Every structure is written in structure tokens, then in C-alpha cells.
Amino acid sequence: MKTNARAQAKPKCSKRLYHPTVLPSLISTTSPEFISKKEAMDDLIEELDAKTAKARLGGGATAQQRMRSRGKLLPKERLALLLDPHTPFLELSSLAAEDVYSDYIPGAGLITGIGRVSGRECMVIVNDATVKGGSCYPLTDKKQLRTQEIAREHGLPCVYIVESGGAALPHQGNVFPYREQFGRIFYNMVRAYVPALADENVIVQNQGRIFLAGPPLVKAATGEEIDDDGLTDALARDDNEAIIRVRGIIGDLVQAGYRGVLPEEKVEGSVYSAEQLHGIVETDVRQPFDMRDVISRVVDGSRFREFKKDYGSSIVTGFAQIHGYPVGIIGNNGVLFSPSALKAKQFILLCSQRQIPLLFLVKVAGYMLGSKAEKGGIAKDGAKMVRAVACADVPKLTVIVGGSFGAGNYGMAGRANAKIGVMGSGQLLQVMTSHQSSALYSTAKLWDNGIIKPTDTRDVIGLGLAMASRRPSSGNQSKTGRSTTWDGNGMGFGVFRM
């Protein structure tokens, strides 16, 4: 029996095979509009780079030289020695306290972020003693509390590199008294994982000190003269040896904390260049753009299975993968109407039922106003969306790529960069300065976890989803032991359709 060799031959494909979920792109990178947007975004990125570079210098050359003269490594050098070589470090809130105090307090006097130590992801908190001797300002406390919160949520060990002068005395009235201030740091350390409250601590000989009160204060208070010896688990000769010992401690944690889950399949990049985001995203928050053009440059293979595309068109919802991790995406394409809110609510419930993390790409002016919208139930439908966001028992990541105003900010789990406020920019100018809704202002006040470049969006979200994968999973059970969605045991409820 003869076979047809030609019929059996497999066709050769030099191009990527078409997939029905690949988002098309009609962006022209040579159009005047694209070039104008790109130039405006490039200017903003240049400003961001300059401010970030200045903040990373800490307290300046004089303070750095003072540390070196005492045989100490600089904070950035300690961090670099601690982290595994050639691994990513996701720095958090690098511009905290920018232009907030009369003194320049870069990074609020702390370097914080998620990095890999001895093969394990850790939350790292480094006091920058070049900034006012490592003194704690109100925003220093707030920044450290936020890092502890992230570490607790994702089972990350905390590594503290401590050189702190304690509370900045002129600001002590705003450091100690409230629940979310200085004392809360110790409370969190007792609950989870400085020094005296840590599981293990290493101190540098003739440099490190641990006091409830130092020799001068003890003498002033009691008349007793004491030496400056401190208590510790391990004594190191210098900074280098101390960091090596800390890396050994992390290596010995074995099964403590949570473990990450690697993607099951080979990770595929997006079809379109991330550089094109500079010409897509508007620096003027009042100008529209299609959020699908952002999604297609962030998700794997630019593939996006859209949910209810033709209903509630002012919001985009759908399923995708980023760096191999599944994610449900909700993005704004205009003002939120009742159909948009109901669509988002149903999609959020689906993701919660399936335990899929949610990514909010935010450019929202708020929910629709006016008598017609009110009679149509916008208050009720908007509340359903806000409640769904609050109750969904899945990780939520928010990237604000435009403005985030009004109640829409809450409906979109509002937290991150760009512009943020409780009312639209038109009304805003009548009651306060636009400076107070800028990205730099919000990040300085720690309303977010930092400003990112558009080209870094995919990688930052990928790292966020990798951290989210560390959450302990027990089917559809929530952390309270009760299911928020139907799982067959009669404890939950199904997805409510519209």
C-alpha cells in the first residue's frame, strides 16, 4: 500500500501561528500622536530616574565617608553582599518621604524590598545610617510596617540590617502614639518573625550596640555608669562576616515559611514590544487610550481571553498569564457605568471561585454621575463591585496607569502609581492643588508601593504573582476556613449572574 508523502509532509511555518485570543494591535509607532506621547513619557521617566538616583545616594558623600572611616560598609553595599548574585531585587517605596519633611530624608531612611538570600525569597529592611544617623521619622515607621504586612501575607522571612538612631526626637509626637506607628513594628515582630525580637541576631564587634537605653541616658536617669556591650546570638568581626552569617541563618530555615510555585509551562514573552507603552499611555490623564493595548504588551504571548467583551464596554475583563502565572485582569476603558460594574463584579466572583489572582489596570474617573445613572442603579451596582473586590479571597495587584479618581479608585482596588485622588481632576483644581494628586506626592506619602517604569510593568507584575503563588492553598477554602464561593460542601455560594 502506497502513501502520499506530500500529503503527510508537515507545513513549515516561519511566523507565529495565529491564536484567536492574541490581541491585535493597530498602533502606529511613526504617527505624530504616538511620537508626541512617547516624548512626554520619556521626559517623565528621565525625571523619575534622576529623583531615584538622588535618593539612592542616601545622606550624601560626607555621611558615606564617615561610615567608611569607621570600617563600615554602606547600606547599599551591605544589601548587595546579602543578596544572591545576579538575582532580582524588587525595591519598595524608593521615593518615600520625598519633599515631605523640611529635612531631606531619602527613602524615609530605609531601603526595603524583596530579594533572594541563600536561594530563598526574603523581605529585606536596611536602615540607612547616612540619613540622619538612621533616625526614624513617621514615614519610616509607615514604610517598615508596610513591608512587614507584605512579608506576613506571603510568608517571607524578614532580614533586618539595623543601624538606627531610634526615633527622630523632633517628630516623636507623630512616631509613638498611634496603633499604626512605632510600637506596631514590635507587635508585628512578636506575631511573625530590632534585634531582641528577631529569631536570631548577629552583631558586629566594636560597632553594634543593643540598648533599651544607652550609657549616657542610663547615667542621667539612674547615675549608674555602664559599658556599651550588647547581647547577641553571634559576634562578627566586621560587616562582611556578619552578612555571611546571616546568609547562613537563612539557608538553615529549611521548610520554614511558604514556598513559591514555579510556572508549569515555558514562559512566552509578549508579541509586542514593551517600549511601545511609552507611546500608548497618556501623560495627560484626561486623554483616553485602549487598555487592551497595554494588556497586549504585558501578558504572555499577548493572549487574552476576554470575558463579556460586548457588554459593559467601559471596563475590560479577561484571563491571561504573566510570566507563566494565571491572572484575571480588570482594566478601565472609560467611566464606570452600571453594566461595567456588574460585569466586573461577576468576573471578580469567578476569579475568587477559581482562586485566580486579580490584576487591576486602573485609569478611572469614577462611576457615572447624573440623574439617569442614579435611576439606573449606579450606586447599588457600584457598591456590588466594591464589595466583590473587598471580599474576593485572592491576591490583588493594582497598577494605576492613568488617573484614579472618585469611588472608582476603591472599586479598582486602588493603590499604586500615576495620579490618585478622591475626586476627578476637574473638580480637584477647585479645592486643592494638583500637586497633591501627583504620582510623586502619593508615593512620598506611601499611598502606594512605588513608581515603576512602563517597560518594567510585566516583570514587576510577574514578581508580584510569584509572591502571590506562595500563599498556602487548601482548595477553595479561605484563610478563615470558610469558602466564599460554592465548592460542593454547602459552605459557600455560587457566582451571581446579572
State the Cα–Cα distance between residues 242 and 235, nearest whole angstrom.
8
Are 455 and 347 members of one domain?
A: yes
Q: Say yes or no: 205 and 294 in one domain.
A: no
> Does residue 303 sit within a domain?
yes
Report the DSSP beta bridge partners of residue 358. Answer: 328, 396
Q: Would residue 462 count as lying in a domain?
A: yes
Find out whether 286 and 425 touch, Cβ atoms under 8 Å.
yes
| Under 8 Å between Cβ of 94 and 107 | yes
- Which secondary structure element, helix H or strand E, spans residue 474, and what is its range? none
* Same-domain pairing of 304 and 394: yes
Q: Which three cell numbers stand for residue 251?
A: 539557608
Helices (H) and strands (E) in the chain, counts: 16, 12
**Burial level of 274, CB count in 10 A (0-12/13-18/19+)?**
middle
One domain for residues 195 and 280: no
108, 223: one domain: yes
In this structure, the answer to whether residues 358 and 413 fall within a common structural domain is: yes
Residue 169 lies in a domain: yes
Instruction: Tell me the CA distances in angstroms from 355 to 112, 243, 360, 393, one per residue in order.
Output: 29, 38, 16, 8
Same domain, 278 and 419: yes
284 and 242 housed in the same domain: no
Look at residue 302 and tell me if it is in a domain.
yes
Q: Which amino acid is at 488?
A: G
In a domain, 314, yes or no: yes
Q: Contact, 105 vs 141, CB < 8 A?
A: no
pTM of the model: 0.82
Q: How many domains does the chain have?
A: 2
244 and 278 co-located in one domain: no
Residue 131 belongs to domain with CATH number: 3.90.226.10
Provide the residue range defining the domain that includes 186: 58-251
Residue 30 lies in a domain: no
Q: Is residue 332 part of a domain?
A: yes
pLDDT per residue as tens, the chain (498 positions):
444 444 444 444 334 445 678 999 989 999 999 999 999 999 999 999 999 999 999 999 999 999 999 999 999 999 999 999 999 999 999 999 999 998 999 999 999 999 999 999 999 999 999 998 888 888 998 898 899 889 888 889 899 998 887 666 566 656 555 555 555 555 555 444 355 567 888 989 888 877 766 677 778 888 888 776 666 788 899 999 999 999 999 999 877 767 777 887 789 999 999 999 999 988 777 788 999 999 999 999 999 999 999 999 999 999 999 999 999 999 999 889 999 999 999 999 999 999 999 999 999 887 887 788 787 788 889 899 999 998 898 999 999 888 777 778 888 887 533 343 433 333 333 344 455 667 888 889 888 899 999 999 999 999 999 998 885 544 444 444 444 444 444 445 556 555
| 456 residue type, one letter | D
